Amino acid sequence: MSDNEGKPEEKPEAPILVTLKVKDQQGQEIQFKAKAHMKLEKLMNAFEKNHNVDLGTYRFFFDGSRIQNTDTPQSLGMEDEDVIEAFIQQVGGGGYTLLG
C-alpha cells in the first residue's frame, strides 16, 4: 500500500495575486496585477513607461510611506484594490524671499 492512499495530492501553492491601483497627481488610475512577492520596482517602471517619462521621474507612496524598489506587496501588507500614490519628483522650489 502507498503512504499517499486516501490523502489528497498536495499541489504547490499558487502565487497570490493582488490588484493594485496606481493613482497620479491628476487622479488618473492604472491597475496592475502583481504577485505578492514581486518587487514593486517592476510595477513602478511599468507605470513610468506608460506615462512616457524617464525612470525615476515619479516617487511612489503607500499609506504615507515611500515605496522602495525592493519592497513587495507582501512586505508592505498590501491587499487587493489598495492604492499607490505617484508624485512627480520635484527639484528645487524651496527658496523664497521675505518682504518686510
- How much of the chain exceeds pLDDT 70, in percent? 78
- pLDDT, residue 91, reads 74
Q: Is a pLDDT exceeding 90 seen at residue 3?
A: no
Backbone angles phi, psi at 33, to 5 degrees: -100, 130
pTM of structure: 0.76
Residue pLDDT, tens place only, 42-74:
999 999 999 999 999 999 999 999 999 999 999
DSSP classification of residue 54: -
Q: Is a pLDDT exceeding 60 seen at residue 4?
A: no
Choose between 87 and 11: higher pLDDT: 87
The third-level CATH classification (topology) of the domain covering 17-88 is Ubiquitin-like (UB roll) (3.10.20)
3-state secondary structure of 83: strand
Domain ranges of the chain: 17-88
Which cell is 73 given?
506587496
